[in-house]
Amino acid sequence: MNQPARLASIKKPLPDELLQALKNLLEDRYSTALAVREHHGRDESSYDAMPPDVVVYAHTTGEVAAIARLCHHYQVPMIPYGAGSSLEGHILALRGGVTIDLSQMNQMVAVHAEDLTATVQAGVTRKQLNLEIKDSGLFFPIDPGADASIGGMAATRASGTNAVRYGTMRDNVLALTVVSADGRIIQTGSRAKKSAAGYDLTRLFVGSEGTLGIITEVTVKLYPLPEAISAAVCSFPSAVDAVNAVIQTIQMGVPVARVEFLDENGVRAINAYDKLSLPEKPLLLFEFHGSQHSVQEQAGLVQQIAADHGADDFEWAMQPEDRSRLWAARHNAYFALLQLRPGARAISTDCCVPISRLAECILDTQIDCERHQLIYSIIGHVGDGNFHVLMMIDPHDPDEVATAEGVNSRMVTRALAMDGTCTGEHGVGMHKMAFLIQEHGSDAIQLMRSVKHAFDPDNLMNPGKIIAWEADA
Amino acid sequence: MNQPARLASIKKPLPDELLQALKNLLEDRYSTALAVREHHGRDESSYDAMPPDVVVYAHTTGEVAAIARLCHHYQVPMIPYGAGSSLEGHILALRGGVTIDLSQMNQMVAVHAEDLTATVQAGVTRKQLNLEIKDSGLFFPIDPGADASIGGMAATRASGTNAVRYGTMRDNVLALTVVSADGRIIQTGSRAKKSAAGYDLTRLFVGSEGTLGIITEVTVKLYPLPEAISAAVCSFPSAVDAVNAVIQTIQMGVPVARVEFLDENGVRAINAYDKLSLPEKPLLLFEFHGSQHSVQEQAGLVQQIAADHGADDFEWAMQPEDRSRLWAARHNAYFALLQLRPGARAISTDCCVPISRLAECILDTQIDCERHQLIYSIIGHVGDGNFHVLMMIDPHDPDEVATAEGVNSRMVTRALAMDGTCTGEHGVGMHKMAFLIQEHGSDAIQLMRSVKHAFDPDNLMNPGKIIAWEADA
């Protein structure tokens, strides 16, 4: 897919003084090599790379602040980069500028096991965090699939498989350290579990995708590892049956920790990719957390609900290795699906609707995909009413792109008509900006834009994402 | 206590054209009677009333928008009023203006039991909401004690007894309808359980105390009524023992629904007020929600923990009427404590700290209160690290006020040094503005102020609360 030319045309070469100052500051953590810039100018979306002019690697909040002051002084765009796993074009350098790679900011700042909190540098990934705290008896539940950085997860308001039980980054970030557009260092909160002290800057930065400030440290909630975990898979005659089982589970208040849906195409792909032999029918994958007894109780309830919706088997995976294998397969679904059409890229989109409308929304989207003969899969964190459509396309064939974008657009319109949202967890990036306006209406967008103007009056922070600045429009 | 004269001095008479226009719009839902204005110019804090110039009663979002457009046109302050149960001077009309009473906006807009959501007008109270949905098998858990309006609870980011399990208004508001300073009507969200679609306007208005916009409708999450509920009370040799039992309960991840602490003074007061005969020692009041078995399991764990911390009894209240009696007593504690010193008013303050620091914070605050020979009580939602100090004082004795404010100030300083917050749930109002700066630092306050400037450029929305506008400072 091509990027809007209007933004690229605004690009101007960076001043030599800025480049020299960055080099002095960061020495070998500075690169203008094309390969490095291209690597940093793309994410997991199907957009072509739009490289920044320079990539720098920060190690401390102080360095990020110094970089921001330089960029501010020379009025140059700055784009934070974590793990590069975003999906909607979040990190493309539309106007060039400086990409600030935070992946080397991978230090644990503090673990307060006694308070169930940890503070990490933004570049710590979720897997690293869980490894670092594994002896504490605690874990960090948010799991978007990719081994994303905690800073990036905060910036995109990530969620994923465990959100149905533990919430999203919105709910699990207690406080942030943020560098502002002019290089000031802001603390947005404390380690208190709740606060009524002023405007919720933490929640304002969570999900702001680098457009309001650069998140450099994150304080998150941790949870005691459950005494017992069990998982189960079951197959259904149809997608609607599977989703109806989920709807009933949620309505009854069963505190499932995870409930994932894969359509037949998804199951076929992971069978091939992960050498599994799951029945090639719509599938639900459950996980239960709690005491031994509570886990059995939950699973018993869900098994009954599944049977009522025509599930013809309910297979247990009590052993950690079986569970890991299933979840690895689920997390590999993206790559497994790409194998359905070698050389293709995936347009991966998501939406979220009130739970009672989920079966209808998925079914209509499935019919739309079939009608257009796409190679696709619908998979989702269905306990939250959230699902994904992955469409394997040739990103350089305008007809295929148009078809996929048509499906995407109709899915969003459908979700909005059901009082849902245009994105449950992927974020807006540059791909869903028009849908954001459709969802919120121009008055709300105007308020969002006024926040952007207030925090970033020169439009230097990841410009051209989420909402169009007047100059971009 | 007296209000800052500098703000009162800015008051100017309202233009006759505005008064006439409001009268035309609202007819008999318009009052300039002193008694009505004084009633609307005070809350449950110890501040003297600062009445608005006029009180109007709105019935619809459209009326609120029309009122806001008039106030905006004539550049007159507007103050939303719900149940009047705020505690930090939130609704005092420091500069006069128009108080918009929303208590008659008490209609249910929609109950979507199938999605576990309800949308209500801002004036619906939490008890009314629970009454309206009682046949659905669902409930709304947020319980700040007072029968506050849902709009006011959203505006102050209220929480209360159930927050340890169900979160606060921050976590339980899905979407808001808000009237902006210039009378536009904004929808901040959808009914999707999660969203990554743009800046989190919902969370920005939650806790903004009427300073950024007027909340007129609220969509909240509902929860299935638990299959089983049980409650228990137990007494401890000391406050520290009681709080240490709570700390261990939280650290072990026991999903208690409520855990309330009352010091000896609090127990003595409710014994007298509610004709109970609880042992006059520090007390914990627990509630457990879940399946029959899960409730027993939780209570068994907590009973063991309590015993380990010297609890000499653990009394069950499985019957709804016993539970109701206990919770009524807890909710009456504020009024019960006022009886300890007839004619006094309470300075009620709160703070919140990371759970591991709670015992220390409470103990030091208790010592401070004792040293100053105050008539006081410390009670709290201790599962969240949140507690209250109520000091019964003569608000017109400057020495008593100074003593109480000294205790308050040292408590906040102590909480901030422990990486806590200056208010866990009461909000800032006009009483904690200085502490807000102490907590967040000037750069973060500057960001908050820039949001205020962006949303309310003429400083008309509940002026003089949360953060000082430049003109107020």
CB B194 to CB A163 under 8 A? yes
State the Cα–Cα distance between residues A104 and A149, nearest whole angstrom.
11
Nearest to B201 among A159, A167, A448 (CB): A448
B174 touches chain A (CB under 8 A): no
CB A253 to CB B223 under 8 A? yes
Same domain, A232 and A215: no
Position B9 pLDDT exceeds 60: no
Give the residue from chain B lying closest to A251, CA to CA: B114
Q: How many domains does chain A have?
A: 3
Q: Which of B196, B198, B176 is nearest to B187 (CA)?
A: B176
State the Cα–Cα distance between residues A435 and A468, nearest whole angstrom.
12
Interface test with A, best of B190, B194, B251 (most A CBs within 10 A): B194
Position B452 pLDDT exceeds 70: yes
State the Cα–Cα distance between residues A70 and A76, nearest whole angstrom.
8
Same domain, A241 and A309: yes
State the Cα–Cα distance between residues B7 and A439, nearest whole angstrom.
40
What is the extent of the structural domain holding A136?
108-224
Same domain, B112 and B215: yes
Query: Please, is B407 exposed, middle or buried when counting C-beta atoms within 10 Å of its C-beta (0-12, 13-18, 19+)?
Result: buried
Contacts A445 to B, Cβ<8 Å: 198
Same domain, A271 and A232: yes
Average pLDDT for B21-35 = 98
For B43, residues 6+ apart whose C-beta sits below 8 A from its C-beta are: B84, B85, B86, B87, B88, B89, B90, B91, B92, B429
Same domain, B113 and B186: yes
Contacts B198 to A, Cβ<8 Å: 207, 428, 436, 439-440, 445, 448, 466-467
| DSSP one-letter code for B145 | S
Give the residue from chain B lying closest to A435, CA to CA: B197
Domain membership of residue B428 (yes or no) is no
Domain membership of residue A307 (yes or no) is yes
Angle between helices B239-251 and B292-308 (to 10 degrees): 140
CA distance B190 to chain A (A): 5
Give the residue from chain B lying closest to A225, CA to CA: B253
| Domain CATH code at residue B113 | 3.30.465.10
CB A206 to CB B184 under 8 A? no
Same domain, A123 and A95: no
State the Cα–Cα distance between residues A352 and B195, nearest whole angstrom.
7
**Hey, which residues does A56 pair with through a beta bridge?**
A30, A100
If one counts every other C-beta atom within 10 angstroms of the C-beta of residue A94, the result is 24
CA distance A93 to chain B (A): 19
Task: Pick the last residue of a domain from A103, A136, A156.
Answer: A103
Of A137-141, B313-317, B398-402, the poorest mean pLDDT is in: B313-317
Same domain, B245 and B327: yes
Domain membership of residue B465 (yes or no) is no
Give the residue from chain A lying closest to B295, CA to CA: A294
Q: What is the pLDDT of residue A6?
A: 42
Same domain, B44 and B114: no
Contacts B251 to A, Cβ<8 Å: 114, 116, 224
State the Cα–Cα distance between residues A221 and B255, nearest whole angstrom.
15
3-state secondary structure of B354: coil
B171 touches chain A (CB under 8 A): yes
Task: Pick the last residue of a domain from A303, A334, A365.
Answer: A334
Q: CB of B259 within 8 A of CB of B317?
A: no
Same domain, A145 and A191: yes
CB B197 to CB A435 under 8 A? yes
Give pLDDT tens digits for B421-431: 999 999 999 99
State the Cα–Cα distance between residues A269 and A275, nearest whole angstrom.
10
Q: Which of B97, B98, B124, B100 is nearest to B110 (CA)?
A: B124
Domain membership of residue B436 (yes or no) is no
Per-residue pLDDT in tens (0 to 9) along chain A, 473 residues: 444 444 554 677 899 999 999 999 999 999 999 999 999 999 998 899 999 999 999 999 999 999 999 999 999 999 999 999 999 999 999 999 999 999 999 999 999 999 999 999 999 999 999 999 999 999 999 999 999 999 999 999 999 999 999 999 999 999 999 999 999 999 999 999 999 999 999 999 999 999 999 999 999 999 999 999 999 999 999 999 999 999 999 999 999 999 999 999 999 999 999 999 999 999 999 999 999 999 999 999 999 999 999 998 788 877 888 888 888 888 889 899 999 999 999 999 999 999 999 999 999 999 999 999 999 999 999 999 999 999 999 999 999 999 999 999 999 999 999 999 999 999 999 999 999 999 999 999 999 999 999 999 999 999 999 998 765 65
Domain membership of residue A309 (yes or no) is yes
State the Cα–Cα distance between residues A310 and A61, nearest whole angstrom.
54
The four Cα atoms A218, A220, A225, A230 give a dihedral, to 10 degrees, of -90
Residue B344 banded pLDDT, cuts 50, 70, 90: very high
State the Cα–Cα distance between residues A414 and B38, nearest whole angstrom.
50
Contacts B294 to A, Cβ<8 Å: 290-291, 293-294, 297
Nearest to A352 among B194, B439, B450 (CB): B194
State the Cα–Cα distance between residues B372 and B379, nearest whole angstrom.
18
Residue B392 structure tokens? 């019964």
DSSP H helices, A78-220, are 126-132, 150-155, 163-166, 169-172, 201-205
Residue A61 structure tokens? 């909040």
CB B435 to CB A197 under 8 A? yes
Same domain, B372 and B310: no
CA distance A247 to chain B (A): 9
For A269, residues 6+ apart whose C-beta sits below 8 A from its C-beta are: A333, A336, A337, A339, A340, A377
CB B203 to CB A201 under 8 A? no
A442 touches chain B (CB under 8 A): no
Contacts A427 to B, Cβ<8 Å: 196-197
Helices H / strands E in chain A, number of each: 17, 18
Nearest to B115 among A206, A356, A425 (CB): A356
State the Cα–Cα distance between residues B229 and B214, nearest whole angstrom.
37
Same domain, B239 and B322: yes
3-state helix, strand, coil split of chain A in percent (to 5) is 40, 20, 40
Residue B317 banded pLDDT, cuts 50, 70, 90: confident
Q: CB of A244 within 8 A of CB of A359?
A: yes
Residue B464 banded pLDDT, cuts 50, 70, 90: very high
- H or E element, residue B387: strand B386-393
Give the residue from chain A lying closest to B417, CA to CA: A190
Domain membership of residue B437 (yes or no) is no
Q: What is the pLDDT of residue B269?
A: 96
State the Cα–Cα distance between residues A29 and A41, nearest whole angstrom.
17
Provide the mean pLDDT of chain B. Answer: 94
Domain membership of residue B52 (yes or no) is yes
The predicted model scores a pTM of 0.96
Nearest to A117 among B167, B185, B354 (CB): B354
Give the residue from chain B lying closest to A204, CA to CA: B200
Residue B362 structure tokens? 């409470």
Give the residue from chain B lying closest to A248, CA to CA: B114
Q: CB of A175 within 8 A of CB of A189?
A: yes
| Domain CATH code at residue A9 | 3.30.43.10
Q: CB of B365 within 8 A of CB of B414?
A: yes
The dihedrals phi and psi of B99, each to the nearest 5 degrees, come to: -90, 125
Position B270 pLDDT exceeds 90: yes
3-state secondary structure B31-94: ECCHHHHHHHCCCCCCCCCCCCCEEEECCCHHHHHHHHHHHHHHCCCEEEECCCCCCCCCCCCE
| Domain CATH code at residue B299 | 3.30.70.2190
3-state secondary structure of B103: coil
Interface test with B, best of A195, A212, A423 (most B CBs within 10 A): A195
Domain membership of residue A283 (yes or no) is yes
3-state helix, strand, coil split of chain B in percent (to 5) is 40, 20, 40
| DSSP one-letter code for B421 | B
Position B284 pLDDT exceeds 50: yes
CB B352 to CB A193 under 8 A? yes
Task: Pick the last residue of a domain from B76, B104, B132.
Answer: B104
B301 touches chain A (CB under 8 A): no
Q: Which of residues 348-377 of A touch B (CB under 8 A)?
A: 352-357
Contacts A420 to B, Cβ<8 Å: 190-192
Of A28-42, B5-19, B199-213, the poorest mean pLDDT is in: B5-19
Q: CB of B344 within 8 A of CB of B210?
A: no
Same domain, A208 and A286: no
Strands (E), B333-375: 345-352
- H or E element, residue B323: helix B320-331
Average pLDDT for B201-220 = 98
Q: What is the pLDDT of residue A471?
A: 57
Q: CB of B234 within 8 A of CB of B278?
A: no
Nearest to B444 among A187, A208, A448 (CB): A187
Q: CB of B77 within 8 A of CB of B93?
A: yes
Higher pLDDT, B350 or B314: B350
Residue with tokens 């969240």: B384
**Hey, which residues does B421 pair with through a beta bridge?**
B352
